[in-house]
Structure formats: C-alpha cells, structure tokens
Amino acid sequence: MSLGFSNAGFQILASVDIDDSAAKTAEYNLHHLQEESPYEPQSLVGDVRNIDPSDILPQGFDSDLIVIGGPPCQAYSMAGRGKLRSLGAEREHTKDKRGNLYIDFLNFSITAGARAIIMENVPAAVNYGGKNIPEDACSFLEKNGYSAIWTILNAADFGVPQRRDRMFLIATKSDSGINPFIPKPEYCCSNGTITPAGRSFSRFLEESKHFVRPHIAEETSNWVTVGDALSDLPQLFPSPETPYHLPKPSEAKAYRNSPKNDFQRKMRGNKKSLSGHAFRRTSRDFPIFEKMKAGDDYRDAVVIAEKLLREKLRMSEIDTVANPTRYKLLKKQTIPPYSLDKFHDKWKKLDPQSTSHTVPAHLGTDTYSHIHPEEPRGISVREAARLQSFPDNFVFPCSMGDAFKQIGNAVPPLLAEAIAKSLKQEILLSHE
C-alpha cells in the first residue's frame, strides 16, 4: 500500500510492521524514494499497540497526515478461520485477539491526528462472529470526529492481473474539508462490467449504512490477463528434464522479448533485466504440471499422476503384489498424498487468457495454488510479484518463502495507487 501511495506523490514519513522481514523489505524499497523529502523516514519493527505516534513521526510536521494500514486478517479470512479451528475449540476465530487489532490501528491513527485514514482487510471481515468490522469501525470513527465509508474493491478492476476482492475503509476528519471517496474502476471484464462488490456477503452490504458501491469510469479497458502480465519474463524451466537452478536473489536475467503491452511497460520501467526470478523445486510434481491444462485443479492432477504411475510400473515391470515395497516407493515418488475431499481447490494451473485468481500469503508455504501457464512448475517470486503489480525494480531481500508471503499479504500497488490518487484529488479540492 505504501508503494502505491508513494507512486501517487505522497511522502512516506514512517512505517510500523510486526514482521521483521517485511519491515526490511519495505525500508529497502521505499525509503530511498524519499530523496527530496526534508524528513528522514522512520521504520520500526514492533506491535502497534506499544508504539506512540510521537515516537516515529517527524517533529514539526504540519501537512496533511494520512495513516494507511491493514490489521491482520487471519481471524476474519476463511482460510484463517479453518486453520484456527484445526487447532482446537480454544482457538476459534472469535477468540483470536488479532480480531480486535483494528481498534488499536484506529486509535493509533486518531492519536496521530490523521486527516485521513485508509484501512484494508478481507471481505469476510463483515461477519466476525456476527460483528461487521468495517461498519463497527466507521461508527467508532464517527464518534471520534471523522466521516467514514467502506467498500469492496476488486484489484482486477484497477489494472491488476488478478481477481482479488478486498475491503477498504476510507475516513476523513470531519472538519478537514476532505470528503470520503471511492476510486472509479477503469478496467472491466470482457462483458463490460466490473465485479459486483461483495457477492458472497450481499446481505451484510445491504444492512450497512456506511457501505458505498464503486461506480465504473466512463472509459475502461479490459482486465489484464496472466499472459499480458508474464509473457515477456525469462523462460526458466521448459521441461521436467531441465536441470533445476536456484538463482541468487541478485542474479539478473534478460527479458524474453520487448514489452508487448502497457502493463509490461509499466512493470519494467527502464530496466533491461530483472532479478528475484526463483521458483520452488518440487521434483515429484514437475511431470504432473507439464500435463495439466489451463484451469486444471488437484482432481485433474491426481488423474494425471495415476496415469504416470501406471506407465512407470509398466516400464519398470514392477509387480505390485510380488514387490509391495518397491511399489509403495514408486507411488510415493509419483502421486501427491493429499486428500481429494478437501484439497482439490488448492492446486490450479493458470490460464494465460484469463486474469489470475487471488494470490495468497500461503505461497510462502507452497506454490501449488498458482502453477505456471506454460512451464511445468509453480510460479516464481517475480511472477507472483507481477500478478500483484509490483514493478520489476521492487526487490525482496529475504528468503524465497518470506518473499512469497509478503507478496501474498500485500495490497496490489496499482490498486493502492488508484486509491491514493483519488485521495490526493480530494485533498487538492479541500485546499481551493
């Protein structure tokens, strides 16, 4: 989110993150952008509940202070709820202390004297054990002198090659002259419409007095596809027989071809090569990935794996009855061990002609959710970054797992930039 605001012309004064690796990535990429600022950006690693705004904000700053952020979503998201339930009844999501950290974020923002506050989270926050978090937050802010609204935006509607619904709360100080706003989507799917906001939570939207639906811009472009986003990146792994190579984070690779569209030109800037193009070594599954078709999921992968196993048994002449040990070993080396009942939507091969499905933080654990559309592998760090609209000059100075996690947790920079530009316009109008 900070990158999008920086690209829209806002100065990053300070940042707080509880994750040390994420904080270092942000500081590495964002603080050098403030060369013309009279203020030295401050970066802290820690719990926002234990930090006073005066500890990190520059002395004498008297311009329009904006606070942006995203409290943890694990207590709200469907994936987070499932994980918590698996840990036992005492870990039920409504008992997760992180579910109330939005209040601490808002208190921090109010104490800082923010003229505007932007808060992001998952749409499922509208039903946290019966509590509508964005609606509750808007009411809380109104009691503290703010005008507040919230909406649900799809990143694909703002030029990001990914269908990603997220809740955004926008609040402005009531006496600031700045009006709360909703940026207008400038991209749409092929039928000329934007994604209906909060399709899965329509009842909660209808009951919410602070919810505002986005209105599409008069002129729009088609959604950016996976092919639009990735087709100029270097080829890494053309076949399962290709030797695996794990590049160093700084290892540079030349682009495959000249930029083919506006998105690629935007991501590349003036760069002639890129780095951070590493992917995971999942040797068992490379032959499966190769035979999967666009849109295939785990159910298709299992059918392919079983066919591969039968072929291996035929070629090796292993008798499953006479040689059970060898058979079990070959099966383990060929067929993924996951349950078909609850795992089928965890694998997905990307379609180059379509926009990607949501890029999750779970990429930090594995990349089965996003299998490359052309090569037999999971997507690379750089490809995940592209699907989130991080430019190629954005560096992830950390482990591969941390990089994937940070990318999946992020607000897509192009979406954040659209929000920031709308806010900037409202600020300019308030100064006239």
> Which residues form the catalytic set?
73
Judge contact between 305 and 368, C-beta under 8 A. no
Question: CA 96, 97, 102: angle at the middle one, nearest 5?
Answer: 115
Residues in Cβ contact with 340 at an 8 Å cutoff, skipping those fewer than 6 apart: 298, 299, 302
Amino acid letter, residue 205 = L
Residue type, 124: A
Amino acid type, 278:
A
At 109, is the secondary structure helix, strand, or coil?
helix
Contacts of 48 (CB under 8 A, 6+ apart): 16, 18, 101, 104, 105, 108
> What is the rounded distance in angstroms from the CA atom of residue 399 to the CA atom of residue 393?
17
User: What 3-state class would DSSP assign to 166?
Assistant: strand
Q: Where would I find the H helices in 280-412?
A: 286-291, 298-316, 324-332, 340-343, 381-387, 400-409
Distance CA 15, CA 358 (A): 26
Picking from 387, 351, 374, 404, the residue whose alpha carbon sits closest to that of residue 237 is 374
Amino acid present at 198: G
